[in-house]
Amino acid sequence: MANHDTLQLATEYPAHDELQDTKETIAFLKTKMEEAYKPNNLRRDAHPKHHGVVRAEFIVEENLAEDLQVGVFKQGLSRPNRSFPAWIRFSNASNRVHHDREKDMIGFAIKLMGVEGDKILNIDQDSYFNDELTNDSSFSEEKFTQDFLFMSHPVFLVARIKDFKKLVTAAFGDNSILKFFFNPFDNHLRTLWIILTMNKYHTSPLDNRYWSNSPYLFGSSEKGKRRAVKYALLPTSKTRSKMPKNKTENYLKDAMKNHLAQDEASFDFMIQFQTDANKMPIEDTRIDWSEVDSPLIKVATIKIPKQIFDSPEQMAFAENSYFAAWHSLPEHRPLGSINRARRFAYDQLSKFRLKRNKFPRIEPDGSEEF
């Protein structure tokens, strides 16, 4: 770890035992998934309840400043009208399937299609996992998609993967959750506060603001000055849902269904540059980056057209879909401890789940019909 006074912008500082913590966390989560669900019907370890996956269009802003023309925002990389077709999966963030009457966070995972260029997971074949999943050819990785992941809360629960491993094993394993929060030599009071404030009732997944929680590289790291950003989504739909007097088990899906039956939905896709390495850390995802110090900049619009998305076939597609921050162009490389752990965790847990369910992992191309 670097001294706090010497932190550099867009620079990572991995802990020496981070990979081992990642391996142990993945092993624990695999066991928990098998204990929680029936064989051949494993659900995700997080975000197992989805509200649906919807078609969308990702439209890059016209006349972006040259220094913003990075990755998918580069002029000429996108299609002639500067847009990409997309799938968006909305989900509850809880680790279990529960009624929407319970407070929760909402996840927003978007997959762009038609994005040319090799993705990090394709060109970097090195793996630290020597098991039957690592080189399984039944799992295809396509070259033409780019994923972005968001949550309806600005920060993540913990700073690093070591703290996440301690949290999940305390909460679901050895029952020492109070010790995790209040240990005088290693307390996690900030995490406790985040847990107490992050879950809310929502009128609709289409009404929320969303944050990326974690930082990402913005541009090539080979061109001298490194830049890091976080992403945000601001809802801009004319139609908004009202909070129902009686919340049903699936009222969030119903709100989306009613909205998209009568009108489109839309979001502004924003970036926020890291301008202070101490106040806006790369390695601590508990810290919200100040929008006063670094205002949001719009780089794209997401449009979700009117549609019907809840056919059995499309809901099954939502269940078996795969989104990962590392399925990305190198110019949008995920940064920080939690993201470095996600590189392996998302890949391994997705393969584990789908292999148990006897379902192939195939990247969509936008031609899917339901």
The span from the CA of 162 to the CA of 205, in Å, is 31
Residue 369, in any domain of the structure: no
SS3 301: strand
Residue 158, in any domain of the structure: no
- What is the structure's pLDDT at 37? 86
Residue 160, in any domain of the structure: no
Band of pLDDT at residue 124, cut at 50, 70 and 90:
low
Residue 116, in any domain of the structure: yes
Q: Which helix (H) or strand (E) holds 14?
A: none
Q: 287 with 16: CB under 8 angstroms?
A: no
Model confidence pLDDT, tens digit, residues 76-88? 654 556 899 999 9
Residue 41, in any domain of the structure: yes
CATH of residue 345: 2.40.180.10
Number of domains in the chain: 1
What is the average pLDDT across 276-284?
97
325 DSSP β-pair partners: none
Q: What is the span of the domain harbouring residue 289?
A: 4-153+199-356
Look at the alpha carbons of 89, 90, 91, 93 in this order and tell me if their dihedral is positive or negative.
positive
Residue 189, in any domain of the structure: no
Q: What is the pTM of this model?
A: 0.92
The span from the CA of 340 to the CA of 334, in Å, is 7
Residue 100, in any domain of the structure: yes
Residue 164, in any domain of the structure: no
Look at the alpha carbons of 280, 95, 150, 333 in this order and tell me if their dihedral is positive or negative.
positive
Band of pLDDT at residue 139, cut at 50, 70 and 90:
low
